[in-house]
Structure 1
């Protein structure tokens, strides 16, 4: 049976930008601690701590030449790459050297958009045609990184070959171009993704160097692993929480000062079981159409009906080394089923992995996960 297992060894290599050409590597015995994570819709982080006295003078001299945004950190678990990203900060004291890194989405947070955001064409030959929100996200990233006036070289972060998409079936129309339909929205690319595309159903994460542009999993997606309560190190609680349950999601751009001329989008259905349970979301973004608001409502509905049943994993606990899942299957956003046998609320519940947090210290590893319930999006027709 495939199991998570125990980490016998962690290694760290400092690479030049691009993650292919090594710069230096502290010896395994000099590496005193390693932490790294994977997460949905956020920038993942990693740190390593090096014992200077054990590392030696030559390694120390190399560490002293590390340059943020020029060098990258790669972390290997039992010889396999599990994390890679940009070194963003180094800190040294008398006994230790600390290296902190962010994943490749850090480049998108520090690259201001220079392209027109007007994805309305129905012509497939038009690079700005309507399509899945994941395709629009990749198009925006490529348009900004492939070259142009403000690019030092094509794809200078070395990330375009590592984009992986899992497209939604829903077509997205998206524009952010001002009243003249010809203005460039000058914000970081990651701001566009977080503020405009994530509310429309985009989910992004990184695994190693790969940038995953995906969608929220549904009950029709195949589970990557099946766990039971024995897979967790600690007393797991099951919570069926009605405080977040909803049957109708309303999204409006109406404000308290001026209620006329506003539009709204609604997703869901009045339930024969729960009746009408409304969630109202107010959007302060300007220029949103009824279709935009419906897209936001549709994405917000996921996981709210039926009432979500979630696992509460105690602080400091995590996965057991006998858990039937590998570290490579623990990808943010994937479906993982959990069977709660022997409990009053005994059931097999589909979840998606939202966060993976790993710490290795004193030759012992702790693997923590955060799981959130999976629900199916409402698939009613958009407004005309």
Structure 2
């Protein structure tokens, strides 16, 4: 049985071609995250030793990558986006490989008609990296089960924004290392269990009432003039309407499906269970490298007035480690956020 354990991290800085620039021999702080439908980040604080300082002086944003290992397992990788040198330490911040897509635009015109959203997403990613690939792979875990028609034009819009709009229409994605995973919103394969005994400091159960939308209106491109609508007055929550423009949509069916996908997630008040400042017990039945957004945890808790017993989707993971000193030991904390939206309830 896998357990969360108390992990120890190592890191190294590599060039875009994979050559090692320097190994971070002495780490005083490490933090890395994984996020659903968003770009994750990582940060390390390195204490220079020996001739390491000369190598650390050569670190350059975008030219180099930060690679992090937990107990020798590869857990995070991405381009460095900020470096700070101060007396006795170097702080390196990075974001996962999907951050490149925020600096890319479509490089050719392309129209899709009634295809699964994963096919569109795979093309967007391939096109975004085509002129200059920092090193990536795409894995389609499963078809979205939502089809649509989309049209993209050379140089119009950021590729990252286009991908996030697809994620709002019935698709999930996450990044592990240099691998971008595409999967359906209905993907709820469990990778572990959490109960009150695994959370000795307790947890927080919270509703996000502002995320409730009972009727969505989605408008397509101006040329098409199409509008899709899904939902209406809810007998419990009343009417909460939201309008959004998705200019890449080209037909009424796609606009309708996009509205339905948005309603599927937002038609009930979402519940988030967050361990945030609470450290998961090292004895918890979890394998930390397998905590991947888009997968799920079986959560059972009676520790708050809002009792929970359900399989819930992982939407965020954060792991931190601080080095010890003569006066205090080092420690690792693992926090995970899971959510129950209307899609999970269904």
| TM category, shorter | 0.7 to 0.9
Q: Which residue does 2:96 correspond to in 1? A: 103
- Of residues 144, 158, 161, the one that matches 1:191 is 161
Aligned residues: 335
Distance 2:216 2:296 in 1: 27
Q: Which residue does 2:327 correspond to in 1? A: none
| Residue 232 of structure 1, CA deviation | 2.0
| Residue 280 of structure 1, CA deviation | 1.3
State the Cα deviation string for residues 285-322 of structure 1 (Å, max 9, x = none): 44754334323322222344565444354x52132212
Question: Secondary structure of the residue that 1:43 maps to in structure 2?
Answer: coil
Contact 1:253 1:264 in 2 (8 A): yes
Q: Which residue does 1:17 correspond to in 2? A: 16
- Higher strand proportion: 2
State the Cα deviation string for residues 165-186 of structure 1 (Å, max 9, x = none): 132122222124xxxxxx5352
- Of residues 230, 233, 248, the one that matches 1:267 is 230
Q: Which residue does 1:209 correspond to in 2? A: 178
Over 3 Å counting, the alpha-carbon distance change for 1:306 and 1:108 in structure 2 is closer
State the Cα deviation string for residues 49-99 of structure 1 (Å, max 9, x = none): 1123xx12x111111111222211111111111101111221111221111
Over 3 Å counting, the alpha-carbon distance change for 1:49 and 1:343 in structure 2 is closer
Within a 5 Å distance, the mapping from 1:175-186 to structure 2 comes to: 175-176=151-152, 183-186=153-156
Distance 1:262 1:21 in 2: 51
- Of residues 126, 129, 138, the one that matches 1:163 is 138
Q: Mind listing any 5+ residue stretches in structure 2 that lack a counterpart?
A: 324-329
Question: Secondary structure of the residue that 1:25 maps to in structure 2?
Answer: strand
- Of residues 352, 362, 377, the one that matches 2:313 is 352
- Of residues 27, 30, 38, the one that matches 1:42 is 38
Distance 2:128 2:269 in 1: 41
| Residue 233 of structure 1, CA deviation | 4.0
Q: Mind listing any 5+ residue stretches in structure 1 that lack a counterpart?
A: 121-129, 177-182, 255-260, 380-384
Over 3 Å counting, the alpha-carbon distance change for 1:303 and 1:21 in structure 2 is same
Q: Which residue does 2:69 correspond to in 1? A: 76
Task: Give the root-mean-square deviation of aligned CA atoms.
Answer: 2.9
- Of residues 47, 53, 57, the one that matches 1:51 is 47
Question: Secondary structure of the residue that 1:105 maps to in structure 2?
Answer: helix
| Residue 377 of structure 1, CA deviation | 7.9
Question: Secondary structure of the residue that 2:289 maps to in structure 1?
Answer: coil
Over 3 Å counting, the alpha-carbon distance change for 1:68 and 1:342 in structure 2 is closer
Over 3 Å counting, the alpha-carbon distance change for 1:275 and 1:262 in structure 2 is farther
Distance 2:219 2:279 in 1: 41
Q: Which residue does 1:127 correspond to in 2? A: none
Question: Secondary structure of the residue that 2:160 maps to in structure 1?
Answer: helix
Q: Which residue does 1:293 correspond to in 2? A: 255
- Of residues 80, 91, 115, the one that matches 1:131 is 115
Structure 1 length normalisation: TM-score?
0.78
Question: Secondary structure of the residue that 1:325 maps to in structure 2?
Answer: coil
Over 3 Å counting, the alpha-carbon distance change for 1:275 and 1:133 in structure 2 is same
Q: Which residue does 2:326 correspond to in 1? A: none
Distance 2:102 2:209 in 1: 36
- Of residues 321, 331, 335, the one that matches 2:292 is 331
Structure 2 length normalisation: TM-score?
0.86
Q: Which has the larger radius of gyration?
A: 1
Contact 1:228 1:338 in 2 (8 A): yes
Contact 1:34 1:47 in 2 (8 A): yes
Q: Which residue does 2:106 correspond to in 1? A: 113
